[in-house]
Structure 1
């Protein structure tokens, strides 16, 4: 999602797709019910007890507003911002859930989502629905070797090969970012790629040098 929020030019039509229903619910609430959402967050405090209570709560029993508030609260307090296997994170400098710091960020997200279509589809279904001449897809699958970090049933390792085959038949163009692994280079060998150096870091710790691949192809026929 970092690419979506950092892009400077906005096209006439824009669609984002996220497989995690909690993230989709949060984006839809921020897009359509921003004032009510901020009221829901107003009285939240940083507390291990509240963190564990909300973590144990079944999201299906909550309203959409409560569900979105629960998600962002757990994300801000979980160590490393993990989506699954969350544990209470400790920051000795300040409260990790600080609405004063969150307000400008959430307001920017609210404004950025204006006019954007938000989907919650399997990646294959999403491509089938929106693939046409003039479309540019940006794909951000889980890193190879870390497929289970976003939910064990969402994206299996076999999906990389299926994705490469589907992209060969794409009518539009695409950009895909992924960790640089020999297996990935082999699977996506039919396409062009660029190597990118960057640093991985978690919870403000010391960064670790890493490399990623940006795999791409222009729209067919150009």
Structure 2
């Protein structure tokens, strides 16, 4: 279905129109949540789409919220409503380790970063340091430092980011309040580090609402080699068709994506890209919000 078609007008077979049944089977109660910003940039962090995505998520009844590709939490943290159960996941160990440290060892984490400075020498030293040689606290501090000081929030192939219009990007006096907010927001949240398919299988149930933010089509290796492949989009489409839970996915608008996810609700949106170093590579491009349920 094309993005110009009204969701109410669709007759496609893959759409789950189950809201009345929800009310009979589940006592759904969403409570207000603190809208919090991510503590570091992340390539594909969805800042420009967050308002639209969170509006859909907050308006959809659910008893369990689940994210298989949480990244730095650009959508998870910006939601205004939360159910009783929340679980986030990422196959990147640096990400899940950072969230676990923020959740469980926040005071020690702050002490670990107390005298850190923003310098190219320190950036290059930490890039060269193998994370598996560090303690969990040191690993979390390394990852946060690199994400805040690298150009464009890239997870691989990092380069030191230079700015001449604002203060240093790693400044604990301004960063600490953000970290404290995320620490509080993570209370009661389950944190997993699983392959996305295993995560979905474990948590798929009628009460679940999944937000899917996989790597863009054509950019599957941007977050690490062999972590996601083009064939995985077929797997996601198959689950969205036959799974138990509701799912909302954001992805770049490509002909292959439209073909794979034909039959689901598709909403076209335009997004400004600013990560590219060259001005010619920047601009507005199309993205799709794909869901297997009606609003």
Q: Which runs of 5+ in 1 are unaligned?
A: none
Counterparts in 2 of 1:148 and 1:204: CA distance versus 1, 3 Å: closer
Using the TM superposition, give the Cα deviation of residue 103 of structure 1 relative to its aligned residue in structure 2, in angstroms.
1.2
Matches within 5 A, 1:39-188: 39-93=111-165, 94-188=167-261
Aligned length: 219
TM-score, normalization by structure 2 = 0.71
> Per-residue deviation at 1:92?
2.1
Could you tell me how far apart the structure 2 residues matched to 1:89 and 1:181 are?
A: 30
Work out which of the residue numbers 4, 9, 14 in structure 1 matches 2:86: 14
Corresponding residue SS for 2:227: coil
Which one has a larger percent helix, Structure 1 or Structure 2?
A: 1
Gaps of 5+ in 2: 1-72
Structure 1, residues 126-161: CA drift from partner, whole Å, max 9, x if none? 111001111111110001111111002100111111
Tell me whether 1:218 sits opposite 2:293 in the alignment: yes
Q: Which residue of 2 aligns with 1:4?
A: 76
Where relative contact order (Cα < 8 A, 6+ residues apart) is larger, the structure is 2
Cα displacement (A) at 1:81: 1.3
> RMSD of the alignment, in Å?
1.6
CA distances 1:178-213 after superposition (whole Å, capped 9, x unpaired): 011111000000211111122112289976112210
Q: Deviations over 1:4-53 (max 9, x none)?
A: 11110110000011111100000000011111101111110011111111
Q: TM-score, normalised by structure 1?
A: 0.94
